[in-house]
Structure 1
Amino acid sequence: MNQLWRYVQAAIGVIVRHPITGTSIIPVLSDGRIVLVQRRDNGKWSLPGGMVDWGEDIPTTVRRELAEETGLELVKINRLVGVYSDPGRDPRFHSICVLVEAVVNGTIQVRDTLEVSEARAFSPGEIPLGELSHDHDQQMRDYLNGITIVA
């Protein structure tokens, strides 16, 4: 019985005490503008993205999150910008974020209105750096500086 309890505790630890994997996406339109979303929970602009669902790979998550949050279609993932793992990067929980640059097309239209209030395209100079949600200021700066990072 004691050994069974140790296995149960170990299983709970694996489920509850491990970081969640997610994505952030830098969606780039054909004219070079970058699409950001305004979050409902804090009102701040952020990169679209979200958690990787069970059975998904990163490209599938990118495609799904783009469609839900911006209405845009993934044309291709251009490059990996970085992997962000600081336990304090997301105030809700410990998450590991895979940031990619993606070429997108279509019409901007928020479909997930519970999480996102607005989606808008910004030229790189118009992005409200210093005011983005979570650690998206760092992510955007790394992208704009051409850095690929593991942080």
Structure 2
Amino acid sequence: MRNLWRFVYTVIGIIFRHPVTGTSIIPILPDGRIALIRRRDNGRWALPGGMVDWGEDIPTSVSRELMEETGLELLQIRRLVGVYSAPDRDPRIHSICVVVEADVRGEMNIQDSLEVSEVQGFEVNSLPIGEMSHDHDRQLQDYMKGLTTLA
């Protein structure tokens, strides 16, 4: 019984005391605009993305989250923009976010209307910097500076 309790305690610790891995995508449309979503929970603009599902790798998660939130198809991941792991970067949970730049195509069409209220393409000079959810302001600013960030 003691070994069972130790096992259960360890599993609970892993689930509740360790960061969750997620992704953010900087989707580059064929015309050079960047697609952003408006989050339904806080009404703020954000990069599309979300948690990596069990059994998924990062590229699969990027493709799935992009389609769910924007209706866009992933053509290729261009580069790693950064890994953001500050415990307070997401107000809901401690998460580690892998941010990538990606070429995308298709029609912007929300698939997950419970999380997303709007999807829109922005010219680089009209991005809503200062009005983004979570730490997406920083992620976009690092991207525009050409940085690869570990934070």
TM-score normalised by the chain length of structure 1: 0.97
Letter in 1 for 2:135: D
SS at match of 2:15: helix
Deviation at 1:4, TM superposition (A): 3.4
Q: How many residues align?
A: 151
1:12 positional shift: 1.2
SS in 1 for 2:64: helix
Letter in 2 for 1:8: V
The separation in 1 between residues aligned to 2:54 and 2:6, in whole angstroms, is 26
Partner of 1:130: 130
Q: Deviations over 1:86-129 (max 9, x none)?
A: 00000000000000000000111111100000000000011010
Structure 1 residues not aligned, in runs of 5+ = none
Alignment-derived partner of residue 121 in structure 1: 121
The residue that corresponds to 2:139 in the other structure is: 139
Report the counterpart of residue 91 of structure 2 in structure 1.
91
Partner of 2:77: 77
d(CA) in 2 for partners of 1:70, 1:119: 6
Q: Normalising by structure 2, what TM-score? A: 0.97
Separation in structure 2 between the aligned mates of residue 8 and residue 65 of structure 1, nearest angstrom: 31
Q: Per-residue deviation at 1:43? A: 0.2
2: CA distance between counterparts of 1:107 and 1:48? 15
Q: Provide the secondary structure at the position in 2 that maps to 1:22.
A: strand
| 1:59 alignment partner AA | P
* Matched-pair identity in %: 66
Counting only pairs closer than 5 Å after superposition, residues 3-42 of structure 1 correspond to structure 2 as 3-42=3-42
Separation of aligned partners in 2, 1:102 and 1:51:
17
SS at match of 1:56: coil
Q: Give the Cα separation in 2 of the matches to 1:8 and 1:113.
A: 36
CA distance in 1, matches of 2:150, 2:53: 22
Q: Secondary structure at the match of 1:14?
A: helix
**Cα-to-partner distance string for 1:9-66 (whole Å, 9 max, x where unaligned):** 1121012211110000000011110000000000000000000001111111111111
Paired AA for residue 80 in structure 1: L
* Deviation for aligned residue 1:3: 4.0
* Alignment-derived partner of residue 57 in structure 1: 57
Structure-1 separation of matches of 2:138 and 2:2: 47
Q: CA deviation at 1:137?
A: 0.3
In structure 2, distance between residues paired with 1:67 and 1:132: 21
